[in-house]
Amino acid sequence: MNKHQPNSLIAINPEWRWQDFTYRCQQISQQLQQDNIQSAAFWFEDAANYACAMLACFDAKTRILLPPNLLDENQEWIRDNADMLFDDNKFNTYGISQVVDKKDFFIDKHCQTEIWLKTSGSSGQPKIMLKTAEKMWQESEAINQSLPFPEGDDIHVVSSVSAQHHYGLSYRVMLPLTMGWSIGRKQLPYPEYMIAESLIAKQSIWISSPALLTHLNLDEPQLHQCRILGILSSGGMLPEETATAMRTKLKTKTIEGYGSTETGVIAFREQAGLWTPTPVTKIGVNEENALWVESPWLEHREQTADGVEIIGNQFNLLGRIDRIVKFGDKRISLVRIEQDLLKHPYIRDCYVAQHPNHLRPAAWVELNEEGISFYLQKGRAELLKQLRLYLSKTQEHSGLPRFWRFTNRLPRNSQFKISRADFDAVFLHEKEEQF
């Protein structure tokens, strides 16, 4: 099942060959077993080192803990549950004196070694999600079956996301191991870093998020020198305008993935509109029309909080159930309002929620350069008049936002989410908008 040949590349910059990579896996595995390490917490900057240590832990039956950061509460979690913290410094010396007799390294795709993923708790209490190596390999194979990309080490994964989270683990680490691709060592949080890494690769696949892709300059000359085979985005909805512009200008497949830490991967789409589940994922809805999923890597049916409309074997995402609200006697999808607003030529990004003090929708809008110019020349009132008229063509009167705030940059976090506290603050404190 291994797609790497002995001399194929597992990483570039610097280069690392598969046979040397697997020898290092075996050294670490032997040392873990010799030291009787039952559990290791990971905190790597180099994803190739991470992949090597991960396979060693699978082989040694050493549980892996993935904290989202190294804040005090997670340091305490590590102390309580792990025998060691495995990072790049430790990797450089750990097991280095071990002599390995076996020539071939066998990757057991049915391995039951556990991975504990700790969520950041940004939307409530942190959760510990338990995965097994077998479940992660199953999910990775389903991703492989869903994507239109070939195997081979001439394809290099370039990524802006952290491997400490499920998305990064699945796509930055597991998927390249499944496909025989080379692994981008560093998390690259800025477009110019992604471009620089892509320029040294024969071909690249980008693993990113709307947070980075919405601020990618598609007219950057160096970007067009990159041989980008495809761009994968997850962690939030990629604005349709951004996705269309990327497909048109970069002439590359731009694919969105949908899933969560709880469910793993669920579905993909290459164009705006309907989502297609992986070939092995079953879907349905509960009485609130919220999506449930069943997949081989899940122990049981997983109920989501996302409202959907199922059409054949595909579905349309309507947004979280808590983002489908009643105003008067009408059920309004706040996500639909956002999607409609994002089609306006003046808007780059927006977030719509219920006003903190009133039972009415409120829209926080990031204007593009054209929109800012209109605002400054014609005034706020004229811009509001235009936006309300525009929305009235697709939204009922009760779905038109009554409260508006404008900015040149919405403060989205690394998961492309807007903090409710930030949203409430901007609508509770009357401040003059500045650009």
pTM to 2 decimal places: 0.81
At 373-406, the pLDDT tens digits run 999 999 999 999 999 999 999 888 878 999 999 9
Per-block mean pLDDT, blocks of 10 residues, the chain (435 long): 80 94 97 98 98 98 95 94 98 96 86 92 72 98 97 95 95 97 96 97 96 92 97 89 92 95 95 93 94 97 93 90 73 85 93 90 94 95 95 86 94 81 90 79
Three-state SS for 413? coil
Specify the pLDDT at position 229: 97
Give the DSSP H or E segment for 259. strand 253-260
* Whole-number Å distance between alpha carbons of 41 and 309: 40
Upper half-sphere CA count for residue 425 (Cβ side, 13 Å): 6
At 46-87, the pLDDT tens digits run 999 999 999 999 999 999 999 999 989 999 999 999 999 999
Specify the pLDDT at position 120: 65
* Whole-number Å distance between alpha carbons of 406 and 187: 32
Closest alpha carbon to 37 in 66, 53, 61: 61
* Whole-number Å distance between alpha carbons of 364 and 357: 15
Three-state SS for 344? coil
Q: What is the spatial order of strands in the sheet that 114-118 belongs to?
A: 84-87, 39-43, 63-66, 114-118, 128-132
* Whole-number Å distance between alpha carbons of 174 and 376: 49
Contact residues for 421 (Cβ-Cβ < 8 A; gap 6+): none
Q: Which two tokens stand for residue 345?
A: 């030529």
Specify the pLDDT at position 2: 62
Specify the pLDDT at position 169: 97
